[in-house]
Amino acid sequence: MAYIITRLCRDCLDTGCVSVCPVDCIYDYRGSDTANFPNQLYIHPDECIDCGACEPECPWQAIFEEVAVPDVFKDDTALNYKMMDLSSDFEVKKHEKKEHPTAEQIEANKVKWGLSK
């Protein structure tokens, strides 16, 4: 089992999770198939050691333990696993310091993706 980055990360790409990952298993998609691999970070399921360090570091609250991924984001689990088929199109993301979102921005993002109403 692994941790899963959900669509709450799309177009946000905060790299706080990258800075604490002890095994560098958080990737950025560099290929051209953006219809199947949207602009977000991905956790390589075979490399993740389930340490959980990434989850509290995500200011967008986009990372979940695989068994705890909300139903509305179940497709995101398959998406993280799908990256293994095209691993040459991914590279380990480098940490870049970003300003954290406000509570209002986080809530608006959850509403946008159907997690909150």
- Torsion, CA 85, CA 95, CA 31, CA 91, rounded to 10: -40
Which residues neighbour 51 within 8 Å (Cβ) at sequence distance 6 or greater?
A: 22, 23
Instruction: Return d(Cα 44, Cα 31) in angstroms, integer.
Output: 16
CATH number for the domain formed by residue range(s) 3-112: 3.30.70.20
Q: Which tens digit of pLDDT belongs to each residue from 51-86?
A: 999 999 999 999 999 999 999 999 999 999 999 999
Give the model's pLDDT for residue 98. 85
Q: What is the pLDDT of residue 13?
A: 85
Give the per-residue SS3 of 26-78.
EEEECCCCCCCCCCCEEECCCCCCCCCCCHHHCCCCCEEEHHHCCHHHHHHHH
pLDDT at 117 over 80: no
Q: Which of 114, 98, 112 is nearest to 14 (CA)?
A: 98
